[in-house]
Amino acid sequence: MCDQILRQYDVVGVGCPVVASLGQPMAEVVPHSTARRLADRQRESNVFFPAGGSQIDERAQIQLAQIARILEIPVMQGACLKLVGHSDSVGTAAANQRLSMRRARAVADLLASLLADPDRIREVKGLGEKEPLPGFGPQAVENRRVEVWVRSCP
């Protein structure tokens, strides 16, 4: 089913592993020399922000509109969202915690306005600087993000 959703809609389906190409785990496809770059699938499931910012730029607005459209197709209408905000480690841990929550809330607010049923957004939280992306240092710009998790609604 995961491969079918990926082929038909070009998205990773509910409960499906993130892959770099059909049927190939990312670790088996991405050469070591490019391990620090984000794969396209990884980039699609994260909304990125500027340093210290929580405003959604035009690129992120387009990305979230596409996610909302995908969530409205019949095969995805049983999917719910978990949004997890993150920050880099620049600044205090307390400030980064608040910033990550503002980022997650901004994404949730925009998605709620785009979805027919905004109650599909089930969880919105901020983790601050606690979980940097694997392979990136704690101050890396890639850590300024909100992860969009899609799973079956309970």
Let me know: does 68 contact 9? Beta carbons within 8 Å: no
pLDDT band at residue 115 using 50, 70 and 90 as cut-offs: very high
82 CA to centre of own chain: 9
Highest mean pLDDT among 3-12, 31-40, 102-111: 102-111
Give the residue from 110, 18, 111, 132 showing the smallest Cα distance to 55. Answer: 110
| Structure tokens given for 40 | 């396209």
Going by C-alpha positions, the residue among 147, 150, 142, 144 that lies closest to residue 35 is 142
The CA-based angle 27-81-42, given to 5 degrees, is: 25
For residue 145, give the nearest of 63, 77, 25 by alpha carbon. 63
Global pTM exceeds 0.95: no
Instruction: Judge whether 86 and 131 are in contact, CB under 8 Å.
Output: yes
Predicted local distance difference test score (pLDDT) of residue 4: 56
Provide the b/e sequence for 55-78 (b: ≥16 CB within 10 Å): ebeeebeebbeebbebbeeeebee
Strand order in the sheet with 145-152: 46-48, 145-152, 79-85, 121-126
3-7, 57-61, 123-127 — most confident range: 123-127
